[in-house]
């Protein structure tokens, strides 16, 4: 893509306070392997659009001698790291029945430079906001274009009037999951700092295609997410209601208090490891959401858990495996049980669900999808089509994604660690949520959750009051 064509594609997305300075296609610095890779079932189910995240930085005042130095460093190091992660410079190619291949053709990734007449203070101390200005800090993907024309990775560098900067990233979830993205970003930052590549990615997807079928007599079955009782068309109706993104802060002491209450409230075996931070917090979120939404006791509800199975299959995948090695697994319960039983009950349902994911389970899931001719209903293409049944985290359900084990923080490109980092909250759908560690690396956590606006205040109230925790959220 030439620079002028790139500018035409995004010019309409710029706001009056943000000015486009340039748009470039960055390609691998040296020739890379070209050809077509078959995507796995795991690559092609769930979210296959672009996922956003953003970093905010405050470079030292005396660090730069040229206003273009940051952009130059980022683009040059990006071209170098793409030599190793060359799949990100390729394009998806459509096949029949919403199947895709990955064409490694070095078409490149999109890099945008922009300037803002605002300051970071104008963002409201990084608060979730309905201010449309926030979305202009991210690249725009035009999903009306043929999929083979869409970059798999888009990056935007925005310089603020105060001298601070933001670096936003949009990555195609059909190509890589959060673990792989974390690997890529850290290697990119390492090269930007002038250091050598630390870990080479494993781009071999045949290790999944070649896995033998499972010999078990068991069969994995998909259960459709429940709808609100008495509302057969609830999915469409619920999707029309106004939503709001909330942010909840938990310090280390509060996290440990939640775990202590959950573990002590539910019987466990003497050799049980107890509930993890994720199981504890996600369980409490699920319970609080049921109360806030006013569910009847007999209301079925589901919580989506994303489980990385790199180490759960035999033989295990290398940590450097670059692709999707995570499935959304569903924990289910009646709302009445979640609300009336001790908090450890919700955590136990999530723990049981996660512990099901082993080599046999992953193979059964893969075989299930291989038998399906059409995966349309299992793909989240919310920017393009509606009516898909997976994922469906709207009322009465919830999806809680953990970034607790991803190395997405402390990303230093040469001018220090970020001030702040978060997922692209402007693009969240109702029922979606994230748990991630604080940028301060002090054991505190951040929760971002999108709910119907009418339920948000009640959700926060139940989240804190039920456990007599001090409400630190001012949002």
- Catalytic-role residue among 84, 173, 284, 409: 173
Preceding omega of 219 cis (within 30 degrees of 0): no
Exposed (0-12), middle (13-18) or buried (19+): which is 229, by Cβ within 10 Å?
middle
**Phi and psi for 385 in degrees, rounded to 5?**
-130, 165
Backbone Cα Rg of the chain: 22
- Catalytic-role residue among 337, 359, 412, 466: 412
Distant-in-sequence, close-in-space partners of 213: CB < 8 Å, separation ≥ 6: 363, 367
Going by DSSP bridges, is the β-strand pair 398-402/432-437 parallel, antiparallel, or unpaired? parallel
Identify which of 50, 178, 47 has the alpha carbon closest to the alpha carbon of residue 110. 50
Overall size of the chain counted in residues? 475
Going by DSSP bridges, is the β-strand pair 379-380/46-47 parallel, antiparallel, or unpaired? parallel
E strand map for 199-258: 243-250
Are 425 and 391 within 8 A, CB to CB?
Answer: no
Distant-in-sequence, close-in-space partners of 442: CB < 8 Å, separation ≥ 6: 251, 252
Are 437 and 405 within 8 A, CB to CB?
Answer: no
To 10 degrees, the CA torsion angle through 321, 404, 363, 44?
-70
Q: Is 173 a catalytic residue?
A: yes
* Separation CA 138–CA 13 (nearest Å): 9
Preceding omega of 61 cis (within 30 degrees of 0): no
Strand order in the sheet with 50-57: 18-26, 109-116, 153-159, 165-172, 50-57, 420-423
Q: Provide the phi-psi class of 443: left if phi over 0, else alpha when psi is between -120 and 50, else beta.
A: left
Q: Provide the phi-psi class of 163: left if phi over 0, else alpha when psi is between -120 and 50, else beta.
A: left
Going by DSSP bridges, is the β-strand pair 100-104/35-38 parallel, antiparallel, or unpaired? antiparallel
Distant-in-sequence, close-in-space partners of 260: CB < 8 Å, separation ≥ 6: none
Going by DSSP bridges, is the β-strand pair 50-57/432-437 parallel, antiparallel, or unpaired? unpaired
> Three-state DSSP class for 2?
coil
Going by DSSP bridges, is the β-strand pair 300-308/398-402 parallel, antiparallel, or unpaired? parallel
Q: Is 466 a catalytic residue?
A: no
Catalogue the active-site residues: 173, 412
């Amino acid at each position: 893509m030439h620079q002028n064509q790139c500018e035409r594609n995004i010019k309409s997305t710029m706001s009056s306070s943000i000015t486009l300075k340039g748009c470039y296609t960055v390609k691998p610095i040296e020739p890379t392997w070209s050809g077509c890779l078959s995507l796995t079932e795991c690559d092609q189910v769930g979210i296959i659009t672009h996922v956003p995240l953003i970093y905010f930085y405050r470079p030292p005042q005396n660090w730069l001698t040229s206003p273009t130095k940051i952009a130059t460093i980022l683009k040059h190091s990006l071209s170098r790291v793409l030599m190793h992660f060359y799949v990100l410079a390729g394009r998806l190619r459509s096949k029949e029945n919403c199947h895709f291949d990955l064409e490694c053709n070095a078409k490149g990734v999109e890099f945008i430079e922009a300037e803002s007449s605002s300051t970071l203070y104008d963002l409201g101390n990084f608060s979730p906001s309905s201010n449309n200005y926030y979305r202009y800090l991210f690249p725009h993907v035009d999903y009306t274009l043929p999929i083979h024309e869409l970059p798999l990775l888009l990056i935007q560098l925005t310089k603020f009037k105060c001298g601070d900067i933001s670096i936003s990233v949009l990555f195609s979830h059909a190509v890589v999951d959060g673990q792989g993205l974390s690997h890529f970003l850290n290697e990119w930052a390492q090269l930007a700092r002038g250091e050598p590549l630390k870990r080479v990615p494993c781009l071999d997807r045949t290790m999944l295609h070649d896995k033998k079928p499972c010999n078990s007599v068991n069969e994995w079955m998909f259960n459709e997410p429940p709808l609100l009782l008495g509302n057969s068309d609830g999915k469409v109706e619920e999707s029309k209601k106004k939503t709001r993104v909330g942010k909840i802060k938990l310090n280390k002491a509060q996290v440990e208090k939640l775990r202590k209450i959950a573990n002590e409230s539910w019987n466990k075996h003497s050799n049980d490891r107890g509930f993890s931070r994720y199981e504890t917090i996600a369980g409490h979120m699920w319970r609080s959401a049921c109360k806030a939404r006013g569910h009847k006791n007999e209301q079925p509800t589901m919580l989506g858990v994303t489980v990385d199975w790199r180490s759960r299959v035999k033989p295990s995948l290398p940590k450097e495996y670059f692709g999707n090695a995570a499935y959304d697994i569903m924990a289910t319960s009646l709302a009445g049980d979640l609300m009336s039983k001790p908090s450890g009950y919700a955590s136990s349902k999530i723990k049981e669900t996660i512990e099901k994911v082993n080599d046999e389970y992953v193979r059964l899931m893969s075989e299930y999808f291989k038998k399906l001719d059409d995966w349309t209903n299992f793909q989240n293409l919310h920017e393009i089509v509606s009516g898909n049944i997976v994922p469906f985290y709207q009322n009465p359900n919830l999806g809680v994604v953990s970034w607790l084990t991803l190395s997405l923080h402390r990303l230093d490109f040469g001018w220090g660690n970020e001030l702040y980092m978060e997922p692209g909250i402007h693009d969240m759908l109702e029922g979606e949520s994230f748990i991630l560690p604080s940028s301060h690396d002090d054991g505190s956590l951040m929760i971002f959750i999108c709910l119907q606006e009418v339920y948000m205040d009640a959700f926060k109230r139940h989240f804190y009051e039920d456990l007599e925790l001090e409400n630190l959220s001012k949002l």
